[in-house]
Every structure is written in C-alpha cells, then in structure tokens.
C-alpha cells in the first residue's frame, strides 16, 4: 500500500508535466508550420520598393528629358509669338494702319526690335534664373557643366548655339538621348539642363 501511494505521489506529477510539455511542443510545431505556409516561396520574386527598383535606362531617361525640353521650347515659342503679334498690332494702331497694311511697317526696324526682344527673353531669364517661363512650367533649369550659375555671356552663347541646333531639323537636340544628356547647344556653351 505505501508503495502504491508513493508511486501515485511521484509518478503522477511527472506524467502531468510530460503531457504538458508535449502539448506545448506540439503547439510550437504547429505555429512554425503555419508561419512557413505564410512565407513566400523561395523562387517567387518579392515586391520591390522604390529604393530597390533599378534606375531607368539612359534611353528612357533621355527621352523623358527630351520631351520636357520640347514642351518647354513650345511654351516659350507660344509666349514669344503672342508678344510679337501684340507688338506688331500695337504698332499698327499707333501708326493708324489696318492689319492688312502690315506690309507698310519698316521691315528692318521691326524685325530688329523683335529679334532683340526675343533674344533678351532667352538670355536674361536664363542668366539670372536659369529658367525661361517654359522651363519653369516643366521644372527644368539650365546651369553650367559643373553645376555653376549661368552668366550673361554663357547664356548668350547658348542662345546662339540653339540656332545651330534648330536649323538642321533639330538634329542637335538628339544629344539628349546620349549618356551625358546634353544637346549640341549645351556642349558648345558648356552647359547642361537638369530637372529642378
């Protein structure tokens, strides 16, 4: 009888503790299995964040910059065209001439004035702010080749070089698609166009 009670006293807690340990181990294994099921397969590609994505290729980035520059040039051309038309119209009104009599305006003074005004628009805005109105709208900015601020002389050289690029059907602008992303006028004037 004492031996039987001793076995109950010592063996029963041991059995209970062993059963609880097995139950806890079983829950741990079940949790580990569930976590492994939730994990992505090794062969599947994890979603990339913005920092992990590779940078765009030179051609894609150059095309994006080229489109921006063309849009900026188009906006500037529209602004200058509107101002030129307004100047000619006001001149006709001052001289008491009709629109059909625009041919009576002196050609050399009129063209010289409009040319100086258009050149001043491009040169002065680029020299003192690095941006024309078109570049402001497209968030572009002109700066020196090494990032230095533009000067009047460099802006004038760049404006003159733009004529060289436009004359041969705009071929000079294709330099934007290269690794340096610099058009011909930027190479000639020692400048570059960056996203502001």
pLDDT of 41 higher than 50:
no
Most confident of 45-49, 147-151, 174-178: 147-151
pLDDT band at 20 (very low <50, low <70, confident <90, very high): very low
The answer to which of 44-48, 140-144, 157-161, 184-188 has the lowest mean pLDDT is 44-48
Per the model's pLDDT, the better-predicted residue between 9 and 195 turns out to be 195
Span 182-194, average pLDDT: 88
Mean pLDDT of 19-46: 48
Give the mean model confidence (pLDDT) for residues 26-36: 50
Rounded Cα gap, residues 98 and 112, in angstroms: 22
pLDDT confidence band for 90 (50 / 70 / 90):
very high
% of the chain beyond a pLDDT of 90: 46
Confidence band (pLDDT; 50, 70, 90) for 58?
Answer: low
Asked if pLDDT for residue 86 goes beyond 80, the answer is yes
| pLDDT class of 44 with cuts at 50, 70, 90 | very low
Least trusted range by pLDDT, from 47-61, 95-109, 142-156: 47-61
In sequence order, what are the beta bridge partners of 141?
Answer: 194
pLDDT bracket for residue 176 (50, 70, 90): confident
pTM of the model: 0.65
34-55: average pLDDT: 47
């Amino acid at each position: 009888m004492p031996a039987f009670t001793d076995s109950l006293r010592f063996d029963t807690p041991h059995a209970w503790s062993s059963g609880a340990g097995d139950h806890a181990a079983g829950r741990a294994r079940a949790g580990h299995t569930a976590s492994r099921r939730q994990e992505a397969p090794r062969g599947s590609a994890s979603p990339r964040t913005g920092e992990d994505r590779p940078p765009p290729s030179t051609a894609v980035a150059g095309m994006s910059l080229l489109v921006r520059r063309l849009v900026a040039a188009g906006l500037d051309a529209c602004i200058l065209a509107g101002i030129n038309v307004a100047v000619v119209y006001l001149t006709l009104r001052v001289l008491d001439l009709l629109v059909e009599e625009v041919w009576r305006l002196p050609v050399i003074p009129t063209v010289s004035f409009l040319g100086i005004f258009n050149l001043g628009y491009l040169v002065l805005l680029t020299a003192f702010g690095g941006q024309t109105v078109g570049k402001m709208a497209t968030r572009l900015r002109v700066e020196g080749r090494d990032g230095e601020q533009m000067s009047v002389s460099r802006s004038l050289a760049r404006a003159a070089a733009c004529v060289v690029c436009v004359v041969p059907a705009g071929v000079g602008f294709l330099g934007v698609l290269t690794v340096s992303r610099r058009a011909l006028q930027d190479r000639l004037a020692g400048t570059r166009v960056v996203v502001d």
